[in-house]
Chains A and B, each alone.
Chain A
Amino acid sequence: MLKEASIRQPLILGHKTYHDITKDICGPIEGPAPREWKIAITIAAIIAIYGLSCIAYLVGTGIGAWGLNKTVGWAWDITNFVWWVGIGHAGTLISAVLLLFRQRWRMAINRSAEAMTIFAVIMAAIFPVFHMGRVWMAYWTLPLPNQFGSLWPNFNSALMWDVFAISTYFSVSLVFWYIGLIPDFATIRDRMVKPGMKRFYSILSFGWSGRAKNWTRFEEVSLVLAGIATPLVFSVHSIVSMDFATSVVPGWHTTIFPPYFVSGAIFSGFAMVLTLLLIMRKTMKLEAYIHVKHVEYMNIVIIVTGSIVGVAYLTELFISWYSGVEYEAYAFINRFSGPYSWSYWMMMTCNVISPQLFWFKKIRTNLAATFVLSIVVNIGMWFERFVIIVTSIHRDYVPGAWGEFHPSGIDVGMFIGTIGIFFTLFLLFARYFPVLALNELKTILKMSGESYKKEAEKH
């Protein structure tokens, strides 16, 4: 077994044995649902149902139920889409990129981060699907053989690329996540006494036997999938950004978008992971596995990506001036001084200024401060997308067509609704799925466990 330097902080606190880990993770699944969980899922489900009824109303009436108009054809819908996709990114980054870089601290957080990715991508998909005027024709975006003659989608369109990017991303993430779950499901299966549940988990665990052969395959597949997923981390949001970058709209047509969007996505994704984990570790008593060290690591990622985003904002401003293009210059002046300047300054404060606070060790190791800032970052990132989308098109080339956008109740309802659906799914996940990669975690117990480290020091 590998030994880790003792000056490295332990990743698993306290004296945990293998059995403790199993108990800590499987316990909540086996026991009765706590009252808090019931309350939480009821609230989330109510919000989700409200969101679903907003969607039903939208489909029943028409896109006019939203606040869009002849000048602003996208607003909250695509803002929410990009926001949710962005949030998803942290999961893949944590599970794939950190796996390739052999970052062991990811083991405590990758499972829930990946779950978050899956659910966030589902939430994200809701918007581009239902933003279509004729959603029942949504399958026309797929290159399916058809009886219309040789009628294919338009491969020039960035929206078309989106379809591929998002669906690939979703399926790879789902498979990756599921592969990781198999050994853990098997553990639960083996411990389960209720026959129904046992059957349920035995189906989910695909007949995992825990033999060395199983483990070899597992490791191999994980590596391969990590290899596939890593480029997706960068490609998906790059492609999403091309929805804007390939257009002619001043403020959208920007070559800086792909890297800027990717770092923004990781930025917001980590913030969301933090928000979720800080709640989860408390409620599910996982303090030993997810602790200040993890939070600090993630906060460092937030500083880095937040600073990249900040630099990107300033670069955009500079280029808009330096380009000498009248429309582009105006688009950016309008962003920070026009009718929507409040959202620009909201974005600047939340995304550029607030993460800089993490330079202070006191703040980045303070869980309460982290929790607050993680929410601030997510608000800021929502506004970033809103600023890019709405303030660019509401005043573009022809002043006679300039207009404004005001959200309708359905706009708000659908957004809040997706948060409800997201939390419903996440709460179901937390209740029925192993929230930590318990079998993986066991591989580092003797290396990074606090008690084992202390013991090793004695020798």
Chain B
Amino acid sequence: MSNNKKYWTSLEEFSNRESFQEAVSQEFAPASNGLNAFADEKLSKANTGRRDFLKFMGFSVAAATLAACEAPVVKSIPYVVKPEDITPGIPNYYATTYYDGSDYANILVKTREGRPIFIKGNKSHGLGKGAINARINASVLEIYDEDRLKGPKSGASDISWTNLDKEMMEVMASAKNVRILSNTIISQTTKNAINAFSAHHAGKVKHVQYDVVSYYGMTKANQEAFGKAVVPQYNFEKAQVIVSVAADFLGSWLTSNLFQGAYADGRRPENGNMSKHYQFESNMSLTGSNADVRVAIKPSQEGQVLAAIYNALNGGKAQVEGIESSVFTKLAAELKANAGKSLVVAGSNDADAQKVVIAINQMLNNYGSTIDMSNHLNLFAGNDADVEALVAEMNSGAVDVLIVHGCNPVYNLAHLNFAAAMSKVKTKVSTALFADETAAMCNFMAPDHHQLESWDDASAMAGRTDLIQPTINPLYNTRPAGQNYLAWSGNNSSYYDYLRMTFNAGYTPAMMDSDSNWYTAVHNGTFSSNAPVVVDNVDAATASAMAAVSAIMPSAPAANVTVSESLSKISSKKGGKWEMSLYTSVNLGLGNHASNPVLQETPDPITKVTWDNYVAMAPADMKDMNLNLYIGEQEESSLVKVVANGKEIILPAVATPGQKRGTVSIALGYGRGANDEVIGKAAYQVDGDGDYIMDGEKRMTIGKNAFVFVNKGIYANYDVTIEPTGEMYPMASTQLHSTVMGRDSVVKETSLAAYLKEKTAEKGKASWNTANTLPVHHDVNGDGEITAKGDRVPVRDMDLWAEHPVENVGHRWGMTIDLTSCIGCGACITACHTENNVPVVGKDEVRRHRDMHWMRIDRYFSSDFNTLEETKENKGLGTIAAYGDMEIPTENPQTVHMPMMCQHCNHAPCETVCPVAATAHSNEGLNNMAYNRCIGTRYCANNCPYKVRRFNWFNYVTNDKFSKFNPAQDETMRMVLNPDVTVRTRGVMEKCSMCQQRIQAGKIDAKKRGEVVADGAIVTACAEACPTHAIVFGDLNDTASENIMRAKNNRSYHALEEVGIQPNIYYMTKVRNIETEA
């Protein structure tokens, strides 16, 4: 029983007065404990009591904590209805065409789950077997650029397409003079649309075309000679002697990607003959670096050289200052001996020079064999005279409407001061994808689709029409540029319908499904087969008859040129103390790829400089001017001021061996976005912390715009001044050492004559590719004596380790790289980059010598003498001084391009040293890298004789330092990443995997079909991108594979064979068509 006895705690309670009751009812005694706020009248009356408040508080804190802990939700939503052609994990390929105003290629676009992620050549149906270059390959990133225009704009504000069309129709109605400015348009459909537009607005419209780098001089000369203002096709593979006067035909001249393969095909020493390549140029171009004979000249001498060749061929006097006349006599003799099988080209845009070139080729009977005038190019149809007239017209204020169609004249017609002229035009419209220099000045922006989003056609040459098809739905609210003309002339059909109509007059939507020709064309990416097709309606019999005739008698059109006047004009050019030539960067092209971080980081093939343009100078000149010759982490380059044509640019000077003394060269295509336009995050300079470097209020451009120096259509200036500013500027180069230091087990080379002499020698026996042997302590040669000289065995037979059981068991993947064919273009580098999600690390990291390229191309210049002994003997130097001397490239060096990637050694030094066995050998001969297992000691990288392993110094995917350029850090651009390849995390080692993902895919594919893996069915990204067939990948256990044939060839060798690591990659001795053995 409980008792109800009550105890009082105080007298107050006992008395239980009212005041006490009140005090008890309050939780806190008033004004007694500093918690007055809680005792507040209002609070105590609130619905939420203190305890409730605490409960809520506790709950909210717990909830907030929980919410904060939650991992970010990654939504991967499966297809509810699976698209017919898309299976997750299986790539689809679409044939389409790449054309950006200068580069042209038939391509296959790899898409995964609807996203284009890789571009390769269309080998079955493409021009030049679908040859592409680094620019085209890496351009796949650009579709995902976040800075692209998201829709049409009027001034700074967004506008709908309907309203834009309405406003434009009003503008058009009142306009008197409407001008369209574009690069060469090769789409018949677009041309039709423009014609329809012109017809609708009769008498008002004029279309002007220009090329960013003009070939107007050439077309003008051809107009005069053949009556056709076109650029012919060149067949480099048919030429036995190639003479190029400042034409960088392997890097940037005309359709260079199509020339590369043809050039290499003419230079396969196994065929017994190799073309001989002469190059006259002032800067060391990619082409010049491959020449057998390279003569450095000044830009003003280009004409004189051509005249000298012309004269020499005519038995006249050939004299050019600084060049021995014997060069011309020999050259002329060789040209004559190979008449009809030679080719003379010139890079000059001077019509007179081109006339002389025509005359020379005519004289050599090259038309119809190495030069094809009948199947001429449709590209490069720009007319400089028209452009100049347009600028004058605009300046006079007579132009009311200017439609800038897919080009950027404010940037690349800077020499014509296009911006000033443009400001006088009332209404300006741009169809650019970005608010670029030109678009930013326009009243309307009508952004075009990216090419990978659009339908179009393209005809690069007479008799061939290719198709452009979309590989993805348009990402943004854009519209094909051609459709503007339809819309603005009251035609409501879609551009696709219009395109179909162009190719099928009877086209109706109902017939769409029955048009098999169309679908074949879409599938192949072209209406043509590989052979040029005659589009005129000739019947089959006539066509074959024509083919037969042309086979017998090459169509050699009679050129009608008188050159005496041209000769005197071109040979009378005088240069000043300093001359300048402008060239196109092999990686960056003409500036349209400025915001492509992969291309910015791909090193220049000659100087290996990334992320900048510069003034290329002869090292001797730089020494005279006391400029810094060396690019390094701590060494900054000296800035120089170049003045020409009243314009000046300050750029860093870079020592380039082979540059003619007294000349400088500057790459075009840099310095985009000088007014801080929105042209892509990666187009501006970023400092070591990942912030933009500011130039006042604006972001600092990468390099400077050298288009200001274009000199009346000529890409050279004959009298410039150059002076050091005394300031320094950091430059980034991926290769810091230029010469091979006489290490002939790294690079082997020989002359054609020496090669032919021992062409059939057993592998390892030829004097130019001797197998490495080691002396042993037993009587190998059986002469009863043991000597170090006689008793030697091949390094291969000396083995510390147990053999990997890879030979003749299953697959043994390997690669052969022909140094004779490799021209150093770098297409493999970008292909590898995109295929394998290689991070872009930016200029600051490249300066720290930390580029991540899985494959690089080592470029070696020759020094004065090739070996230590020769150097010591000829220069009278001791060993130390001789080594020092060999570090310096000679003035006009020979160049070797050596692709270098993981050699997948069978006795890989990296494998033995890894403490956790993260890198191990596969039973297919590959050196595998298990990223998950790697703890990042970098021991493997140190122990790699080729230094091909790359370490993830940072988390490139999240570290702010890389936010401006690493595609993996960009919301949209990361869509380009290859889902088959892991994006590596910080702290692990990575390297070439020989495209393991492709090998696996190929094996699975073969297995599904129940077949063995066919030779050539699996191709690595680099081998696939190689335009010259220098890189061949395959199964070394497949006795019939091309790869093993090449590996067994007597030119094949292992780099650093004597280290005994038995690589699976073979190099093939470089053969040069030179007089004496190198």
Contact = CB atoms under 8 A, between A and B. Distances in A.
Interface in A47-71: 61-64, 67-71
B933, B943, B948, B1056 interface centre (most CB from chain A within 10 Å): B943
Interface in A111-163: 128, 131-135, 137-138, 140-141, 151-154, 156-160, 163
Contact of A74 (B916, B942, B986): B942
Contacts of A393: 942
Interface string A71-91: 101100000000000000000
A392 B942 CA distance: 10
Given A63-B951, A141-B915, A398-B900, A330 B883 contact: yes
Contacts of B954: 61-62, 64
B915 A163 contact: yes
A249 interface: yes
A279 interface: no
A153 B918 CA distance: 9
Given A62-B953, A70-B849, A401 B946 contact: yes
Interface stretch (A402-410, A411-419, A450-458): A402-410
Interface stretch (B305-313, B641-649, B738-746): B738-746
Interface string A235-267: 000000001001111000000000000000000
B952 A133 contact: yes
B1059 interface: yes
A154 B915 contact: yes
A131 B937 CA distance: 6
Interface stretch (B323-331, B471-479, B856-864, B996-1004): B856-864
A32 interface: no
A73 B987 contact: no
Given A62-B987, A157-B914, A70 B951 contact: yes
A73 B859 CA distance: 23
Interface in B778-833: none
A190 interface: no
B912 to A, nearest CB: 5
Nearest to A137: B935
A406 B952 CA distance: 18
B632 A404 contact: yes
Interface string B930-953: 000111111101110111111111
A399 B746 contact: yes
B272 interface: no
A330 B887 CA distance: 12
Interface in A322-369: 326-327, 330, 333-334, 337
A133 B936 contact: yes
Nearest to B859: A400
A398 B947 contact: yes
Majority SS of interface residues in chain B? loop
B880 A337 contact: yes
Contacts of A64: 845, 848, 850, 953-954
Contacts of A396: 945, 947
Contacts of A153: 915-917
B633 interface: yes
Given A61-B959, A133-B988, A73 B933 contact: no
Given A134-B935, A400-B898, A73 B942 contact: yes
Contacts of B912: 154, 156-157, 246
Given A70-B950, A73-B951, A133-B986, A400 B856 contact: yes
A333 B742 CA distance: 15
A397 interface: yes
B825 to A, nearest CB: 17
B711 interface: no
B634 interface: yes
B849 A69 contact: yes
B737 interface: yes
Contacts of A406: 633-634
A134 B988 contact: yes
A140 B945 contact: no
Contact of B943 (A67, A249, A327, A334): A249
Instruction: Give the one of A63, A247, A399 with max B CB within 10 A.
Output: A399
A96 to B, nearest CB: 28
B609 to A, nearest CB: 15
B735 interface: yes
A337 B943 contact: no
Contact of A248 (B736, B900, B909, B914): B909
A356 to B, nearest CB: 26
Contacts of B850: 64, 69-70
A138 B851 CA distance: 26
Interface in B724-756: 735-737, 739-741, 743, 746
Given A63-B951, A133-B938, A134-B936, 17 more contacts: A61-B954, A62-B959, A64-B953, A69-B848, A70-B947, A134-B934, A134-B985, A135-B935, A140-B916, A248-B909, A327-B743, A337-B883, A397-B1056, A397-B1059, A398-B947, A402-B737, A404-B634
24 contacts: A62-B954, A62-B987, A64-B953, A73-B951, A132-B935, A133-B951, A133-B988, A133-B989, A134-B985, A135-B935, A141-B915, A154-B916, A157-B912, A158-B913, A249-B943, A327-B743, A333-B880, A395-B737, A397-B746, A398-B746, A399-B858, A400-B858, A400-B898, A406-B633
Closest 4 A/B residue pairs (Cβ): A133-B936, A133-B987, A400-B858, A64-B953
